[in-house]
Amino acid sequence: MSKQAAIELKNITKSFGKVVANKDVCLTVYKGEILSVLGENGSGKTTLMNMISGIYYPDSGHIYIDGKEAVIKSPKDAFDYKIGMIHQHFKLVDVFSAVENILIGLKDDNRYNIKASSEKVKKICEQYGFELDLSKKIYEMSVSEKQTVEIIKVLYRGADILILDEPTAVLTPQETEKLFAVLRRMRDDGKAIIIITHKLNEVMALSDKVAVLRKGEYVGTVNTSETDENKLTEMMVGEKISLNITRTEPKDPVKRLEIKNISCINREGVTVLKDISFEVKSGEIYGIAGIAGSGQRELLESIAGLQKLNSGEILYHNPQTNKTENLRDKTPVQIRDLGVRLSFVPEDRLGMGLVGNMDIVDNIMLRSYKKGKSVFLERKQPKDLANKIIEDLGVVTPGANTPIRRLSGGNVQKVLVGREIASSPTVLMAAYPVRGLDINSSYLIYNLLNEQKEKGVAVIFVGEDLDVLLELCDRIMVISSGEISGVLDARTATKEEIGLLMTKHGGGDK
């Protein structure tokens, strides 16, 4: 069966200033086919897709659509060529309803008529099996609903080529399955679908073909049926790396941290943590899973003394003194002096962990500035530590005195984790420590956490990739809407179990 090319890219090059984001990229997508674009962070996947959808304009190269050369200078041009992109960060207006968002930018002849348009939208929903309340405002929606709106938006415009930028990053396994079912239905409908991702298992499950980019360059396209995860990783990274996390049995675990019935109500009066109790032992990695915004952040912050609690207590069993102390009424400094370390990586990693405009040495000093008796700062030690972190963790930086802001996300992350580990903690809390990191750096961080575990540190790991949670952790606690919905043994649990527990109390995103 000869297939027709829906879109063909030839020698596309784009650079931002001195940084070359895409170099001589060639890509072909056929109708009725799902193509995965795979690549590490900063390999230029999103840039490439932005050029197809008219956000950026290529410096050189050609784009052919249905065999004819196309010039896409703006998103409007892209629509005219029936290209629709679903961005990673949703492009939706929060205070508008679903229908209003779908209608934005349409310039068809019929007058502004919400009722008639709603009917049309409903038909699309039925055709592909979406469930959506059309008059709901975006800010009241869950992430998955927002994504549905985005997809309907491009379908409503009659898109034949759909581009999805990391669509599953924010979804639970069940939602992901639903999305994949919809995408398969669209493929069978003759649409060309491009999906950007860095989750290998999804690539294998969904796509017909895989195109791999590495550092802005096009490596090649392979049929999914003729490849496997290891081969793809090799193409992506350019070298063989092992994707195994070695999990050891916890060595003489003793109770280190005991959380008893803590509850927390935030400033808006919403209960973010409800009667949470668990204990973490030394020498284990305790995983916490849940949809983003289910209370993970508040939980870790309350252990670190940054969040006021309404009830409950946090008991810490100090291994040095063998005393039990209540952390609840202590300040962050007191808690830190006890050896409890929080390496917290919120969505904005420069927000809470590091200061963007300061260099690596100064950022390391944020932890040690109180040391020493003189009024002047002691710079020698932090500088040595900075150089050690740069060397040990392979931080790519011009030097220890480069402002953190200029480093890439992965390198910033390494500095942050390196600093926290260097202070030899007894409890290490890491929230999303690999968010935005490529495979190589991710595994480096996993190994670091494992090292800490073997040293007898109690590690709390909040993660989003369920496969990793299952491979890395010893036990996994699942929270949903601020409540514990289950604690599982990571050695026997399955992804589906966790996924179900994640939505037990009615989903995240309040």
Report the site for another protein in 246-265 (rule: CB under 8 A): none
Report if residue 111 touches another protein, rule: CB under 8 A.
yes
Q: Does 115 bind another protein (CB under 8 A)?
A: no
In angstroms, give the least distance from the CB of 166 to another protein. 16
178 makes contact with another protein (CB under 8 A): no
Query: How crowded is residue 246: how many other Cβ atoms within 10 Å of its Cβ?
Result: 10
Among 104, 181, 205, 254, which residue interacts with another protein (rule: CB under 8 A)? 104
By CB under 8 A, tell whether 79 contacts another protein. yes
DSSP string, 245-290: ---PPPSS--EEEEEEEEEEE-TTS-EEEEEEEEEEETT-EEEEE-
Q: Residues 10, 120, 137, 231: which binds another protein (CB under 8 A)?
A: 137
Which one of 27, 63, 72, 103 is in contact with another protein (CB under 8 A)? 103
DSSP helix/strand/coil, 305: coil
| CA–centroid distance for 395 within its chain | 21
Strands 255-265 and 311-317 turn out to be: antiparallel
Neighbours of 339 (CB within 10 A): 18
- Considering the rule CB under 8 A, would residue 241 count as an interface residue with another protein? no
Q: Could you say whether residue 459 binds another protein (CB under 8 A)?
A: no
- Residue 161 is classified by DSSP as E
Q: What is the dihedral of CA 452, 454, 459, 463, to 10 degrees?
A: 90
Question: Which span (88-96, 203-211, 212-220, 466-474) binds another protein, by CB under 8 A?
Answer: 88-96
55 makes contact with another protein (CB under 8 A): yes
State in angstroms the smallest separation of the CB of 55 from another protein: 6
- Looking at beta carbons, which pairs linking 242-248 to residues 24 or more positions away fall under 8 Å? 243/439, 243/443, 245/443, 245/446, 245/447, 245/450, 245/468, 245/471, 245/472, 246/450, 247/450, 247/471, 247/472, 247/474, 248/450, 248/453, 248/454
Nearer Cβ to another protein (55/500):
55
User: 87 or 435: whose CB is closer to another protein?
Assistant: 87
* Stretch of residues binding another protein (CB under 8 A), selected from 4-12, 23-31, 107-115, 233-241: 107-115
Q: Which of 100, 177, 217, 279 binds another protein (CB under 8 A)?
A: 100
Print the binding letters for residues 143-172 with another protein: x by CB under 8 A, - otherwise.
----------x-------------------
| Dihedral angle, C-alpha 400, 403, 406, 407, nearest 10 ° | 40
Site track for another protein across 265-284, x = CB under 8 A = ---x----------------
Cα 61 to its chain centre, rounded Å, is 31
* Angle between helices 173-188 and 114-128 in degrees, nearest 10: 90
Q: Which amino acid type is present at position 241? A: I
Binding site for another protein (CB under 8 A): 16, 53, 55-56, 74-76, 78-79, 85, 87, 91-96, 100-101, 103-107, 111-112, 137, 139, 153, 268
